[in-house]
Amino acid sequence: MMDFSEKNKTIKKQNLYRKHRIIDDSIINFCSNDYLSLKNHPQVIEAFKKGLNQFGAGSGSSHLVSGHSKAHQKLQEALANYTNQENAILFSTGYMANIGVFSALKEELNWVLQDKLNHASLLDANQLIALKIQRYLHNNIVSLENKIKKQDGNGMVVTDNIFSMEGDKANINAIYNIVKNKDAIFMQDDAHGFGLFEPDIPNNSIYMATLGKSAGLMGAFVAGNYDFIEFLIQKSRPYIYTTAISPAVCIAALKSLELIIQGEQKIKLFENIYFFNELSKELEIPINHSKSAIQPLIVKSNEKALSITDKLLKSGFYVNAIRPPTVAKNSSRLRITLNANHTKAEIEKLLITLKNAL
Ligand SMILES: Cc1ncc(COP(=O)(O)O)c(C=O)c1O
């Protein structure tokens, strides 16, 4: 019999033990992905309630049995429209959407190339279809070019758009040009850019984004050309064999999308990003500044990252410590994320506390 207690002890000794933290309302959260503060937006909550009254709490089934309601259909159409794509389908989570795309393409692909810092779900998806994991250097077009030359048969290149632990952006156009020359498929995961930046989707490529981050809800979608999305409906096991998300979530997501397009929360978020970047430079805090909502402070050691998280918590701020295997060994970090509803005073106090904690 395996001794899981011993295994857990080993993880604890390495300062890699993960646990839930239930954060009470008095703590200011600086590590949520609710970038546009739509999770608690009164109009989103109101739409959710309306959805519950109209459609009930759950979908009752998978999309292809009887779980696909008018609410799901309307949201898919709105997302296809927003991303300027012919078609879109909903998945229950972004993790499943990524696995869903790979699973549908299992018989079609001979190779996949991924950015070294792509999200875990893309690596898991790659493994699931039993193809060798091949990664090019992070955001490095030359490395991609060198690797793509060596591939034979049909393939796909996949990149995060905004990288989840760095906050930096992939060079979509440069990557796409290389992929196009090879006549391969291009896929991007825009989990952290959706809602913040205009979708940048090359012709005939695959676009995935989640509704659990900027949209403040849960679920995800894949958008692309009509035939590819129809193909996913036929072949994607994580789409076919799971319960559709609640229709009320779809009604709330339609409202989130309306607020994203209207843009007020986005303006507030970008003002906060600017303020954070300027002040942290002034205070000489060694943040790896980015143009997105994700602002990492790399401290290397697991222990140090955990101790800063604890110190911040005592001052009323929550910034989770990110450790391996989520990031590479010796690159543990505080991954600070900014939201639209953070106040300048909160950001200032966070940075001063952080400076003192370093
Ligand atoms: C880049 C990226 N892709 C996909 C996902 C998974 O999305 P979801 O949380 O909707 O499963 C995440 C979430 O952390 C992510 O950061």
Question: Is the CB of residue 292 below 6 angstroms from any atom belonging to ligand 1?
Answer: no
Which residues of the chain are in CATH 3.40.640.10 domains? Answer: 42-261
Determine the residue of 121, 123, 335 to mutate for testing ligand 1's pocket, defined as the one with the most ligand atoms within 8 A of the Cβ atom: 121
Task: Tell me what the mean pLDDT of segment 284-298 comes to.
Answer: 96
CA distances from 118 to 133, 166, 278 (A): 11, 11, 28
What percent of the chain shows pLDDT beyond 70? 100
Per-residue confidence (pLDDT) for residue 167, from 0 to 100? 97
Q: Is residue 267 scored above 90 in pLDDT? A: yes
Dist. CA 201 → ligand 1 center (Å): 18
DSSP state of 198: -
Per-residue confidence (pLDDT) for residue 182, from 0 to 100? 97
pLDDT, tens digit, 9 for 90 and up, residues 82-107: 999 999 999 999 999 999 999 999 99
Which residues of the chain are in CATH 3.90.1150.10 domains? Answer: 263-357
What pTM was estimated for this model as a whole?
0.96
Dist. CA 2 → ligand 1 center (Å): 31
Rg (CA), the chain: 21
Q: What is the CATH number of domain 42-261?
A: 3.40.640.10
Task: Tell me what the mean pLDDT of segment 177-203 comes to.
Answer: 97
Task: Tell me what the mean pLDDT of segment 289-316 comes to.
Answer: 95
327: tokens are: 């990031």
DSSP state of 63: I
Per-residue confidence (pLDDT) for residue 24, from 0 to 100? 87
Q: What is the CATH number of domain 263-357?
A: 3.90.1150.10
Per-residue confidence (pLDDT) for residue 217, from 0 to 100? 98
Counting Cβ atoms within 10 Å, is residue 262 exposed (0-12), middle (13-18) or buried (19+)?
A: exposed
Residue whose CA is closest, atom 9 of ligand 1?
94
Cα 222 from Cα 125, distance rounded (Å): 15
Q: Is residue 19 scored above 90 in pLDDT? A: no
| Mean per-residue pLDDT over the chain, rounded | 97
Q: With helix as H, strand as E and coil as C, how does 137-166 read?
A: CCCCHHHHHHHHHCCCCCEEEEEECECCCC
Per-residue confidence (pLDDT) for residue 1, from 0 to 100? 86
Atom of ligand 1 nearest to the CA of 118: 1
What percent of the chain shows pLDDT beyond 90? 96
Q: Is residue 245 scored above 90 in pLDDT? A: yes
Cα 183 from Cα 18, distance rounded (Å): 42
Per-residue confidence (pLDDT) for residue 342, from 0 to 100? 98
